[in-house]
Amino acid sequence: MTPPHKSIATCMLIYNYWPDIAGGAEKQCRLQAHELARRGHSCLIVAARTSGALPAQEMDNGCEVVRVPVLEAILDSVLRRHQQVGSPTMEIRKVAEMWKPSALSRMAATVVRWINTGLFMIGAASTLWRRRQSLDLIHVHIAGWHAGFAGWIGHFLGIPVICKAAFLPAFPHIGGDVPLAPLWRRWRQRISYIALTSAMAEDIVREGVSADRVCIIPNGVDIPDQAAPVDRNQFVLYVGNFTQRVSHKAFDVLIRAWARVVEALPEAHLVVAGAGDSSTWQVLAETCHCRNSIEFAGHVSDMPALYHRAALFVLPSRGEGISNALLEAQAHGVPAVVSDIPGNCEVVVDGTTGLVVPVDDPAGFAQAILDLLGDPVRRSRMGKAARERIRHNFSVPIIVDRICSQYENMLHKVTA
């Protein structure tokens, strides 16, 4: 890959950043930032300092990370000063549990979010003001209030702003738990966007963004050295965070489909990996008489090893941007059975790298899983095709090439 001639100084603006809570947007931010730094670009990451245990400033693989304090970090400092034990986040949760499910607890949670968001905006604005002379561009992740705030501060400082939308619908609601919400709703229409799919690009344009300020660049993934031996592997793998809504991740479809699989193939085994409380779905599995065939693994620290042992990956989501887990599975050469939503169809070629099933169709998912479990030769062929497609279309260097080209286009328009 040939890097652009000019070094670009970028500020990645994101609320959570490694090693804090990491979802898909956070993971993509870090992958892209590391690749930019590897190419010799200057990359500043501005995130929230959500715990006093996180350093206010550090280097991460050539990227400078600046964390601005929010309520948890301030409380943490107070607790440490008075030699209290326990994290501030845990203390807040304990108080919330005492009030749950009262209106007072919900009001308290809203107030905490409002204060956190306001503190982050103040700290981020201060950081950007101090660094304004050394920055070429602001790249914000998630098209919520973050995008509107970035658009406003970027305009004020004379720095162009681009946002990588992460979900579909692309513009999440900005509610009363965000200070100056109407202002951010207006300003997020005035910046440039990276959409993950054509459907996402169309959605952004429908929200009032000019089509010439929207480009399409999917998420990227690192390519592992070895492919999974899917023809010899035995279990089916699902990866998803249980803190996310069922309307998004379709855990119910997963369990109901798996009950049909086990009815036809009693020795089948499903591994469900992901943080969060899975108790509701364990109860559903008991009700559907398939609990004994499912391993709820929780958070898994070594995901590459898990992908390498999987025979098949399943993702029945009702809504995604482009799933990092799906990209990672396919990069390991694991064929996938997925729902026919735009983000999944961007990655999986039906009949070639996996099978695509209508959304909300447990019977269709069960049959597709059974078809591939019963045909190791087909799994191997699909896995090889998946790995090659990911390598040529979704590897991090290829994606960052396209992002850099978009950066250069934006900066050229500014100087033209």
Average confidence (pLDDT) per 10 residues, the chain, 416 residues: 68 94 88 97 96 92 96 68 51 47 73 93 98 97 96 98 94 94 97 97 97 98 98 97 90 98 98 95 97 96 97 96 97 98 97 98 98 98 98 98 97 82
Q: Do 134 and 35 have their domain in common?
A: yes
Does a cis peptide bond (omega within 30 degrees of 0) precede residue 101? yes
Domain of residue 336 covers 235-393
First-to-final CA distance of the chain: 27
Please count the other Cβ atoms lying within 10 Å of the Cβ belonging to residue 407: 23
Q: Do 370 and 411 have their domain in common?
A: no
Query: Which CATH number characterizes residue 241's domain?
Result: 3.40.50.2000
Residue 314, strand partner residues: 337
Q: Do 47 and 124 have their domain in common?
A: yes
Cβ partners under 8 Å of residue 402, min gap 6 = 217
At 101 the pLDDT is 55
Q: Do 252 and 179 have their domain in common?
A: no
Residue 4 in domain:
no
Q: Do 34 and 172 have their domain in common?
A: yes
- Which of helix, strand or coil describes residue 48? strand
By the 8 A CB rule, do 226 and 195 touch?
no
Q: Do 197 and 286 have their domain in common?
A: no
At 112 the pLDDT is 86
Q: Do 139 and 206 have their domain in common?
A: yes
At 110 the pLDDT is 85
Q: What is the dihedral of CA 100, 103, 108, 110, to 10 degrees?
A: 110
Q: Which amino acid is at 116?
A: N
Q: Do 355 and 241 have their domain in common?
A: yes
By the 8 A CB rule, do 138 and 128 touch?
yes
Structure tokens at 336: 């996938």
At 76 the pLDDT is 65
* pTM of the predicted protein model: 0.91
Q: Do 81 and 195 have their domain in common?
A: yes
Q: How many domains does the chain have?
A: 2
At 243 the pLDDT is 87
